[in-house]
Copies of this chain bind each other. A is one copy, B any other.
């Protein structure tokens, strides 16, 4: 059961002029499920992406980097689920290239104008023949209002599709943004998450789009974690078709800021959907660390808390065993941390004051907050003005079941 995550409704998802989405049931791993997505992008669009920092990055991630660097103008994306095409060596690279070649031939574009993406099991050969056989169907049913079906086509252990839209006014023109994401396990993105796609109909110059995608990733997908496992396939791609007539040419100024904030808000919504649907999640926790010397140490402490199995199981149990949070703060690796200045709140409840239990803290107050489905843990370090926020979920029996049974 995802945490406060209503099913997206097709009528709430807006088409983005210049983008068409089509899917197929290619039988990559299992029969009778959408497992291939093709996204067609109008000529003249700009596309930018950020990708996993995992050294075992998947073959499609390597090909994405090459094709973006080629600078020929991206015209299509092809995504498969059921197989990550990671840890697959040279044959894996050949498969990723073959899928681009096949799609490019059918669309009359160059292979370097295609970006490939894969998600699923690692260390198994990609059945590229089945993927290629599915392409004609996906091309045939591609249309602008297919965002919900597209979100369904990239699911793996997700319990529901993740998609959202919004609009923003830029220089008097309405810009429409729509995005989809997927992921429920192996989630601790460190560039972006597997997989997030956002398209919009503003015209955005390539270097500006790259700045936008990095900023949005840092404030959304790069600030979530489910299990601390950074995937081999994380990819977050931003598409700008320009069809709205709004133009953003520089990475500064009011137009840029308005678009940046809209993209970031949509990316945050999509990223939080991933946490809400985290494997076995019953609670969404916002870990906010403030009063740090720099953002890096705030993130370091937030992640230590967010990754602690003891903290996560206490939240699962709604048990205010909050010393576990202090323990995680203490081992996070900030060597000169003065714990006598650390304060801790659970929502509005002041739990620890100046490094020790707040004399006014009452167990029943902690218990009340712990029973909620959404909880903010606020940690004040008292050593500076930097802050950072990380979103995570609890660790439940279902997490173990899902991951012990994943392939079986």
A interface with B by C-beta (< 8 Å): 53-57, 84, 86-92, 121-125, 185-186, 188, 190, 227-232, 307-310, 313-314, 316-317, 319, 321-324, 326-331, 334-335, 337, 339-340, 342, 351-352, 354-357, 395-397, 399-401, 403-408
Contacts and interface: CB of A to CB of B under 8 A. Distances in A.
Nearest to A357: B123
**Chain A interface, >50% SS class:** loop
A55 B309 contact: no
B357 A89 contact: yes
Contact of A316 (B55, B92, B397, B404): B404
Contacts of A313: 399-400, 403-404
B230 A326 contact: no
B229 A328 contact: yes
A87 B357 contact: yes
Nearest to A396: B400
B310 A356 contact: no
A198 to B, nearest CB: 24
10 contacts: A86-B326, A87-B323, A88-B356, A89-B355, A190-B331, A229-B331, A232-B323, A314-B404, A321-B407, A397-B401
A234 to B, nearest CB: 10
A394 to B, nearest CB: 9
Contacts of A88: 356-357
A356 B407 contact: no
* Total copies of this chain within the assembly: 2
Contacts of A123: 322-323, 326, 351-352, 357
A117 B342 CA distance: 24
Contacts of A403: 309-310, 313-314, 317
A125 B355 CA distance: 13
B400 A319 contact: no
Nearest to A121: B323
Contacts of A352: 87, 123
A92 B123 CA distance: 51
A330 B232 contact: yes
A287 to B, nearest CB: 16
Q: Which 10 A-B pairs have the closest CB atoms?
A: A122-B323, A89-B356, A56-B330, A123-B323, A317-B404, A230-B331, A313-B403, A54-B330, A55-B330, A227-B309
